[in-house]
Amino acid sequence: MERTALTITGVMVILLALFSLSNAAQDIKTIGFLNINSASVEELQMLPDLDEATAKNIVSFRQTNGPFSTVDDLRMVKGMSPETLELIRPSIRVEGKSTFRAVGL
């Protein structure tokens, strides 16, 4: 009986920890803009819903085809969905210095 209570307590602690991490991730906001013509794979992954594979595809596409002329050129990148493009559009540019950063609330 004591072992069951200990197991239940352990499971509850783990669930609480996972819930806390989930809420912490939701508290992260971003500010500024990211230049997609100079951003690294790691920087691109800071954008919402942009996974590592798509970030790598963006860098590879840019290296093969030259800089993006417009944000809409991202449509040609493998793995870039229209939904993701619209989600990241407010945070990306094709010119200027990147000022993009994540901030916790």
Q: What is the CATH number of the domain that holds 72?
A: 1.10.150.320
pLDDT surpassing 60 at residue 93: yes
Using an 8 Å Cβ cutoff, are 82 and 75 in contact?
yes
Query: How far out from the chain centre does Cα 54 lie?
Result: 10
DSSP lists the bridge partners of residue 28 as: 104
Encoded tokens for 80: 């870039």
Judging by DSSP bridges, how do beta strands 28-31 and 101-104 pair with one another?
antiparallel
In a domain, 41, yes or no: yes
Number of H helices, E strands in the chain: 4, 4
Domain that holds residue 43: 29-104
In a domain, 83, yes or no: yes
pLDDT higher at 29 or 89: 89
In a domain, 20, yes or no: no
Q: Domain tally for the chain?
A: 1
CA quadruple 57, 39, 94, 37: dihedral, nearest 10: -60
In a domain, 100, yes or no: yes
In a domain, 8, yes or no: no
> For position 31, what pLDDT does the model report?
82
Per-residue pLDDT of 44-88, as tens digits, reads 999 989 999 999 999 999 999 999 999 999 999 999 999 999 999
Q: Kindly state the average pLDDT of the residues 30-50.
A: 92
